[in-house]
Structure 1
Amino acid sequence: MIVSVTMNPSVDISYPLDTLVINDVNRCDQVRKTAGGKGLNVTRVIHQMNEKVVSTGLLGGMLGAFIRENLSKEGINHHFSDIEGDTRNCIAILHDDGKQTEVLESGPVISEEELVAFETIFLNLAKTSQVVTLSGSLPKGVPVDYYSQLLTLLSDSQTKVILDTSGDSLKCALTGEHKPYAIKPNSDELQALIGEKVTEDYTNLPDMLTHPLFDGVALIMVSLGKDGAFVKYEDSFYRVKIPTISVKNPVGSGDSSVAGLAIGLAKELPIEDTLKYAMTLGMLNAMEDTTGSVDVTQFNQIYDRIFIDK
């Protein structure tokens, strides 16, 4: 089983408009509200691939209840920890020929007691799972090294942890005693971590990925957008080449790739197959209008067109 953690989930609200008029009334005929957050995107894609997954994290208030109801309607297994504060909204206004304006609430402030209650649920789920994914930002009140703390809680288990975050929370996890099994930075996040620019031909990526900061991390997958990915797995490097596709909505493709990594690791697939799983699901998400969604009927068609050079 796979456990997907979302510490700062949201209700994602999408407002499609022909034109966004500033300082005036904008009326919207079609509104889409979904259970959102990077970890919930991971959860949905794993579920769509008919793999066992349970979603956990922190939920509160009426919006938290909406997320639980939304997941239950989709048949997704979930076990969230209750908080007193209200889960946040995240609003995306889609307007003017592909432009997107977002309003992202910061979310509730989490107490120490609420974190302790969550950790009990987390440990009960994670210690019986092959893979745990930790995705996204941390809510207010949660220490910046909290992902590192969760890694410590799992240090005596065989569970593989995929950490998909950025900034200080990622750096804290990489400098802690117990490392994640896998991380998935993009090139900008990689540059921010070690203060070195990725060259246009990517030839300096092997040196960047052998930086001491990554010692102890078995799998590093650097997403390169339309150029595929560059991967360090243990002591080997891999270049993942992908076909050209028609992109509808790239948002959530990174989360979908995390879902693919989790499935591959849970199935104990060879690393090449695991990487192809990850890239296939990321591309399938980009081909859909809905974030965190894939058309499983096209899986083999994309999978067979991905090539990996070691």
Structure 2
Amino acid sequence: MILSITPNPSVDISYRLASFRLNTVNRCSHVHKSAGGKGLNVTRVIHLAGRKVCATGFIGGANGQFIKEELDRLQIRHQFVEVDGNTRNCIAILHDEGMQTEILEEGPRLTKRDEENFLSQYCKLLDSASVVTASGSLPKGLDATFYTKLITIAKEKGKIFILDTSGNPLKEGIKASPFLIKPNLQELSGLAGKKLQTMDEVKKAVLSLARWNIPCIVVSLGKDGALGYFGGKFYQIIPPKIQAVNPVGSGDSMVAGMAIALSEGLPDQLVLVYGCAFGTLNAIEEKTGFIRRELLNEFIGKTEVIPI
């Protein structure tokens, strides 16, 4: 089983408008609500691929209830820690020739007791998991070392840990040596302390991170695929040519693919292939964090991994 952690989930609400006008009423007939947050995108994609997954994190209030009901409807196992306050909304307004305006709530503030309750539950869930994914921002009340604690506990139990976050939680998390991290170019630049403009600069930044004993580092490069560092070797990961429809959630889908490959003990290069193929599959769909299982083998076969 794969355990997917979303510390700061949301109800994702999208409004599709022909045009978005300020300081007046905008009426919308195209509204979509879903259980959201990066980790729940990972969860959904793993489930769509037909693998066992359990979602966990912190939820509360009516929005938290909506998320549980949505996962129940999809027949996805979940075991969240209930907290006071209401899980946040994340609103996306799609308008005017592909533009997107987002309004992201902060969500509830957690207490030390909330963290303790989660850590207790987390230790139990780890017993039946082989791979752990942890994705996204941290809610108020958790300090930047929260992921560091989760990684340390997982490693003590011999579990593979994939960390996909940014900012201070990423800077702190790498100190615990997770098995895999997946920064994009902007996040890697943040860790390096400067804007990375050439592939040599990117590789140098990756090698600097690898000194923290991180076996696998994958730098996502959008439509250009990814740069992989695995087992002390660099790889160029080349996706199949597609007409992208909605690339949002492709990074989360990449994490899902790599988690599946690692849970099944596949070779290093196939781990990278699975990640890129899953991310590409998401990009051809309108829905966020969504793949079609029947296309998996085709896209896996069309994804190239070249040692460099």
Q: TM-score, normalised by structure 1?
A: 0.96
In 1, are the aligned partners of 2:231 and 2:268 still within 8 Å (CA)?
A: no
What does residue 95 of structure 1 align with? 95
Does structure 1 residue 263 correspond to structure 2 residue 260? yes
The amino acid across from 1:41 in the alignment is N
Q: Distance in 2 between matches of 1:35 and 1:235?
A: 37
Q: Distance in 2 between matches of 1:40 and 1:271?
A: 25
Q: Could you tell me how far 1:172 is from its partner in structure 2?
A: 0.7
In 2, are the aligned partners of 1:174 and 1:213 still within 8 Å (CA)?
A: no
The amino acid across from 1:5 in the alignment is I
Assess, with a 3 A threshold, how the Cα gap between structure 1 residues 203 and 269 changes in structure 2: closer, same or farther. same
Does structure 1 residue 82 correspond to structure 2 residue 82? yes
Q: Secondary structure at the match of 1:100?
A: strand
In 2, are the aligned partners of 1:17 and 1:96 still within 8 Å (CA)?
A: yes
Select the residue among 207, 219, 235 that pairs with 2:216: 219
What does residue 187 of structure 1 align with? 185
The amino acid across from 2:269 in the alignment is E
What does residue 241 of structure 2 align with? 244
Does structure 1 residue 167 correspond to structure 2 residue 164? no
What does residue 205 of structure 1 align with? 202
Q: Distance in 2 between matches of 1:213 and 1:239?
A: 17
Q: Could you tell me how far 1:214 is from its partner in structure 2?
A: 4.2
Q: Could you tell me how far 1:208 is from its partner in structure 2?
A: 1.9
The amino acid across from 2:185 in the alignment is S
Alignment of 1:36-75 (within 5 A): 36-75=36-75
In 1, are the aligned partners of 2:46 and 2:52 still within 8 Å (CA)?
A: yes
What does residue 140 of structure 2 align with? 140
The amino acid across from 2:222 in the alignment is G
Assess, with a 3 A threshold, how the Cα gap between structure 1 residues 13 and 212 changes in structure 2: closer, same or farther. closer
In 2, are the aligned partners of 1:127 and 1:159 still within 8 Å (CA)?
A: no
Assess, with a 3 A threshold, how the Cα gap between structure 1 residues 233 and 15 changes in structure 2: closer, same or farther. same
Q: Could you tell me how far 1:198 is from its partner in structure 2?
A: 2.7
Unmatched runs of 5 consecutive residues or more in structure 2: none
Q: Could you tell me how far 1:129 is from its partner in structure 2?
A: 1.0
Q: Distance in 2 between matches of 1:51 and 1:279?
A: 18
Q: Could you tell me how far 1:256 is from its partner in structure 2?
A: 0.2
Assess, with a 3 A threshold, how the Cα gap between structure 1 residues 72 and 214 changes in structure 2: closer, same or farther. farther
Deviation larger for 235-244 or 67-76 = 235-244
The amino acid across from 1:155 in the alignment is K
Q: Distance in 2 between matches of 1:247 and 1:235?
A: 32
Q: Distance in 1 between matches of 2:267 and 2:167?
A: 30
Q: Distance in 2 between matches of 1:85 and 1:129?
A: 29
Q: Secondary structure at the match of 1:169?
A: helix
Q: Distance in 2 between matches of 1:65 and 1:137?
A: 21
Select the residue among 275, 279, 282 that pairs with 1:278: 275
Deviation larger for 263-272 or 233-242 = 233-242
Q: Could you tell me how far 1:267 is from its partner in structure 2?
A: 0.3
Deviations 1:81-115 (A, max 9, x none): 11011100000000001000000000000000011
Q: Could you tell me how far 1:34 is from its partner in structure 2?
A: 0.1
Q: Distance in 2 between matches of 1:212 and 1:169?
A: 15
Deviations 1:32-85 (A, max 9, x none): 000000000000000000001000000100100000000000010100011011
In 1, are the aligned partners of 2:154 and 2:160 still within 8 Å (CA)?
A: no
Q: Secondary structure at the match of 1:129?
A: coil
Q: Distance in 1 between matches of 2:241 and 2:155?
A: 40
Assess, with a 3 A threshold, how the Cα gap between structure 1 residues 140 and 269 changes in structure 2: closer, same or farther. same
In 1, are the aligned partners of 2:240 and 2:280 still within 8 Å (CA)?
A: no
What does residue 125 of structure 1 align with? 125
What does residue 154 of structure 1 align with? 154
Provide the aligned length of Structure 1 versus Structure 2.
307
Does structure 1 residue 298 correspond to structure 2 residue 305? no
Once the two structures are aligned, what percentage of the paired residues are identical? 45
What does residue 289 of structure 1 align with? 286
Q: Secondary structure at the match of 1:34?
A: strand
Q: Secondary structure at the match of 1:44?
A: helix
Q: Secondary structure at the match of 1:75?
A: coil
In 1, are the aligned partners of 2:16 and 2:28 still within 8 Å (CA)?
A: yes
Show structure 1 runs of 4+ deviating over 4 A.
Answer: none
